[in-house]
Structure 1
């Protein structure tokens, strides 16, 4: 059977008397699979139903459901991807709010190597005063969070990409109550509705008269 190699984003053992030692994110060659059926679910998603050649120590064979995202990218590239999208829109090191929101709208359509189920890919909008920098500032940030799961479907790690503005903390900003709002792919409402609600937040009217002193794109594993 001549099929190309695929990148695995999640593996779920479907036969409990086989012991899976594979991890998400590893690559395998489909030529090693004894049987292969592909379901095209739309939206770039495929599910490979595979009976893997080779016996387990218990003498049974492994059956895996392998979730693959067509054209998905490594999680560690997520910060570089949003950075490239932003640079295509503006040359400013502190992008305008409208440019950032439109960049995020594009970024959300790009898939990374995580499951499309549950809370594996989500977005956070948050703001409030922070004091863990050298100078106390008012921070406004968008975060994209990826959940990496192990072969049993349990959380293994989280990767967060943060897009954060810093504003000098004055009396008006200091009086604003901190806020956060999450959206996950498992939510009933679409991403577009969540992003519209973010755009309608009253904070933006306050920030029209403010000048951000910094903007940072960062990514970390937590």
Structure 2
């Protein structure tokens, strides 16, 4: 898991020179490739999850519409008990427009151990009406980072 952020960046920049060249569809497909990679995670419920979420936020300045593609890994202590999570983020920010603001906010998790199929999860997201709006856009900013939560 220590290499996860580098692996995501590699998927995002495959065939490109910089993250700034990404469009939303390319970022989504790279995220799904990253999501298919298997990692050595604990044998606990929800130890490896993917999150798709969007909304209008103003964390570090003016409000922007943000699409957040996150992978979360559970870290356990030496006794096998939950210690913390590591989240690897691909954050796509867009200029706020009335159309994007009208989308509101949304989140949907996928957990590998829940018996769900990753391709079905992705298909369900791509069939949402909001995706037709978001996927056609080029983000103003792309950030890839990892954090402990």
Is the TM-score greater than 0.5?
yes
1:82 aligns with 2:8: yes
Counterpart in 1 of 2:118?
Answer: 191
1:217 to 141, 144, 147: 144
Contact 1:123 1:182 (C-alpha < 8 Å) held by counterparts? yes
1:209/1:79 CA distance change after superposition, 3 Å: closer
Question: SS at the partner of 2:59?
Answer: coil
Q: Which has the higher helix share?
A: 2
Contact 2:12 2:19 (C-alpha < 8 Å) held by counterparts? no
Contact 1:89 1:99 (C-alpha < 8 Å) held by counterparts? no
Greater gyration radius:
1
Structure 1 position 188, deviation (Å): 2.3
Q: How does 1:69-218 map to 2 (within 5 A)?
A: 75-94=1-20, 95-207=22-134, 210-218=137-145
Alpha-carbon separation, structure 1, partners of 2:99 and 2:18 = 26
Structure 1 position 151, deviation (Å): 3.1
Question: SS at the partner of 1:186?
Answer: helix
Alpha-carbon separation, structure 2, partners of 1:87 and 1:186 = 29
Q: Which has the higher strand share?
A: 1
Q: Which runs of 4+ in 1 moved over 6 A?
A: none
Counterpart in 2 of 1:44?
Answer: none
The alignment yields a C-alpha RMSD, in angstroms, of 1.8
Using CA pairs below 8 Å that are at least 6 residues apart, which structure has the higher relative contact order?
Answer: 2
Partner deviation per Cα, 1:1-33 (whole Å, 9 max, x = no partner): xxxxxxxxxxxxxxxxxxxxxxxxxxxxxxxxx
Structure 2 unaligned blocks of 5 or more: none
1:206/1:187 CA distance change after superposition, 3 Å: same
